[in-house]
Chain A
């Protein structure tokens, strides 16, 4: 039993946890951070080893202990799945993220009032039966300064003022875009011919050496520029050009002297006092000993599955019945193209060195008669070492034998794809709950995910496949095909929805539990709707905003 009372217990020290730790500890609050995974050294994450980090990633120390179970319908048996979001080590999944650092659009925060309430569902001929579409309780303008802080503290490379759909911003990007690759050039030319609006995707990877200037946090370490080694998505960065809290925000937090970091410590329960407020956490330490830590504020920042599981296990924050409901995910659609002669060399450079168009993202286009609402970003993709590409072959081709060999030897360096991140709307049947059959190594029931794409997603995915195929054909690729999403999403959100109505949401706009005012839940789990972009920039902005709100509650910490 630890006697002292911390100001804050932070559960999960990853992407948002790293930002929260830095901001709160810098404001003088005593923060105890619990990270269930290890603190990796550079030799643990930076070897450019495609066997270790891609094909055997489910056996990584920071993946193998935290599987989920997954099924597409309640009538199915849930199967064991190893997921790489979260990544259970200090700094979390930012260590191996692709680097897509886009903001959401203003319309992404107000799908209900902008689209549902204004008759756009009927105009589109969409079928939203069974969905539970709501607005965010905050607007893009509320997050804008926090997006900016994320971009300037972590060093986002990009160019503003190119995309006509760009969300309003007070400042441009701190760094120019990453170097263009062959696939970016052919994509941009094809899109221009088709009348779309290509632009260099903002990336959380440094295009030049960088250290944040004033008025941002100048304690953040200087980092070198990307060397385009190409071992990026799934790998730790061997030069630290990739934005990751592990070697940026977390060392700054530790240097304050106010951040007590406890790695390999698994929080098993959030404790409450007689007043119903959170009083601290129970955890199992690195030696397997149970312990407790008292705190004035508890923050759960452990990704979608764990955020829901921990609240369910603790019996907290569910008076709305919404805990674990309306899980969201992108159903990525692909359009793949192979050139006979043009060399793409997709293995060079980071995946987030990309061109994209937002002509079919969000509510940026006329949906009349299309049969769905919302959209998704379309961008270049398709890197990776050879072992990551062995399943990339045209439909109908046997993926072994002489024909496959001849194809693969030539196509590996001449193929790329468009990745289209189709939004998923909130549906109460997509859930995370506790698996009654399987437990993890700490004896806790695994999170059980029940998820399927519903009618709006299926129509949107087919539409984007057609758009992507058209772009890919326009590039001049000789062999083109499309792939619809696998049953499980590529990026997850939802489960602890934020909202202004306590009867319909778990947390408020400050990620503060309606039921337990000194309990916060931060991360993509709070998203009421998902947008057609990855969550990273938005969860980071939410972390800055939540930290600011907590710091303002001086009376809590007297």
Chain B
């Protein structure tokens, strides 16, 4: 896995370097690099860092408790730090953390940490780049989304959009 330092182009705003590294390890299991970029390369860590320094400030304690819980589970099950586990071991930890918790959706206030970070990772990949994620519009290009186009002409209705994705700022 790429270290997040290889790709973090922005200084951290609120996460500590250790926390960012752990968030990156989790994010790469949620949306792994395959033959296409994963969460870290797509900018999800910067997105989460900026969000926790801003609009999601109130979730910082949930993050810090959740990250500690993940390290505790990693130690308890496999005797090593989460980042040093194999992918299968990391998945086992995350599956245990996820439980059968059904996410309550964006308006719910009672999601567990795993559902929250899962959502944030995906927001970071697919959100507007001004929030720190979706670096170079990686996320939008991965799914064939045109981004903030002014509009679409008729032929694009049912054929793959071959316009380059567009962001307003």
Residues of chain A touching chain B, judged by Cβ–Cβ distance below 8 Å, are 47-52, 54-59, 79-83, 179-182, 185, 226-231, 238-239, 342-345, 347-349, 385-387, 390-391, 398-402, 404-406, 408-409, 412-413, 486
Contacts and interface: CB of A to CB of B under 8 A. Distances in A.
Contact of B159 (A81, A83, A343): A343
A57 B106 contact: yes
Q: 8 tightest CB-CB pairs across the interface, nearest first?
A: A227-B151, A182-B158, A386-B126, A412-B143, A400-B30, A390-B122, A51-B127, A48-B148
Given A349-B157, A413-B160, A82 B107 contact: yes
Interface string B125-144: 01110110000000110111
28 contacts: A49-B148, A51-B127, A55-B119, A57-B106, A59-B55, A79-B110, A180-B157, A181-B157, A227-B150, A228-B151, A229-B150, A238-B150, A239-B151, A342-B158, A345-B144, A345-B158, A347-B145, A347-B146, A348-B152, A348-B161, A385-B126, A386-B126, A386-B143, A399-B118, A401-B30, A405-B31, A405-B34, A409-B142
Contacts of B156: 345, 348
A67 B108 CA distance: 12
B66 interface: no
Given A182-B157, A391-B103, A56 B55 contact: yes
A486 to B, nearest CB: 7
Contacts of B119: 55, 390
A185 B158 contact: yes
Interface of B: 29-32, 34, 36, 38, 55, 91, 94-95, 103, 105-107, 109-110, 118-119, 121-123, 126-128, 130-131, 139-140, 142-146, 148-152, 154, 156-161, 168
A409 B42 CA distance: 14
B152 A228 contact: yes
A340 to B, nearest CB: 14
A387 B157 contact: no
Nearest to A56: B55
B50 to A, nearest CB: 11
A238 B168 CA distance: 13
A486 B158 contact: no
Given A54-B106, A348-B156, A401 B139 contact: no
A47 B38 CA distance: 27
Nearest to A59: B55
Contact of B151 (A51, A59, A83, A229): A229
Contact of A401 (B32, B36, B123, B161): B32
Contacts of A229: 148-152
Given A80-B109, A227-B151, A229-B150, A50 B128 contact: yes
B151 to A, nearest CB: 3
Nearest to A411: B143
A83 B108 CA distance: 11
Nearest to A185: B158
A390 B94 CA distance: 18
Contact of A47 (B91, B94, B168): B168
A387 B122 contact: yes
B31 A51 contact: no
A402 B35 CA distance: 11
Nearest to A348: B152
B37 to A, nearest CB: 10
Given A49-B128, A230-B152, A386 B140 contact: yes
B158 A231 contact: no
Nearest to B34: A402
Contact of B152 (A57, A349, A387): A349
Contact of B109 (A55, A79, A404): A79
Contacts of B91: 401
Contacts of B130: 49
Nearest to B26: A400
A82 B159 CA distance: 37
Given A345-B159, A347-B145, 20 more contacts: A49-B128, A79-B109, A80-B109, A82-B107, A179-B154, A179-B157, A185-B158, A227-B152, A228-B152, A229-B149, A230-B149, A343-B159, A345-B144, A401-B29, A402-B34, A405-B31, A405-B34, A405-B38, A409-B142, A413-B145
B96 to A, nearest CB: 13
B46 to A, nearest CB: 13
Contacts of A343: 158-160
Contacts of B32: 401-402, 405
B10 to A, nearest CB: 17
Contacts of A59: 55
Contacts of A80: 109
A406 B157 contact: no
Contacts of B159: 343, 345
A463 B151 CA distance: 37
Max count, chain B CB within 10 A of own CB: residue among A231, A348, A391, A400:
A400
Given A48-B168, A58-B107, A409 B143 contact: yes
A405 B143 CA distance: 10
Nearest to B56: A56
B128 A409 contact: no
A56 B119 CA distance: 12
A404 B31 CA distance: 8
Contacts of B131: 51
A343 B151 CA distance: 18
A181 B158 contact: yes
Contacts of B107: 58, 81-83
B106 A486 contact: no
Nearest to B106: A55
Given A181-B158, A227-B150, A406 B34 contact: yes
A82 B151 CA distance: 30
Max count, chain A CB within 10 A of own CB: residue among B127, B146, B154:
B127
A209 B154 CA distance: 17
Contacts of A400: 29-31, 94, 118, 121
Contacts of A349: 152, 157
Nearest to A57: B106
Contacts of A230: 149, 152
Given A343-B158, A412-B144, A51 B36 contact: no
B106 A58 contact: yes
Max count, chain A CB within 10 A of own CB: residue among B106, B156, B159:
B106
A227 B156 CA distance: 12
Nearest to A384: B145
A374 B103 CA distance: 31
Contacts of A180: 157
A54 B106 CA distance: 8
A231 B152 CA distance: 11
B126 A387 contact: yes
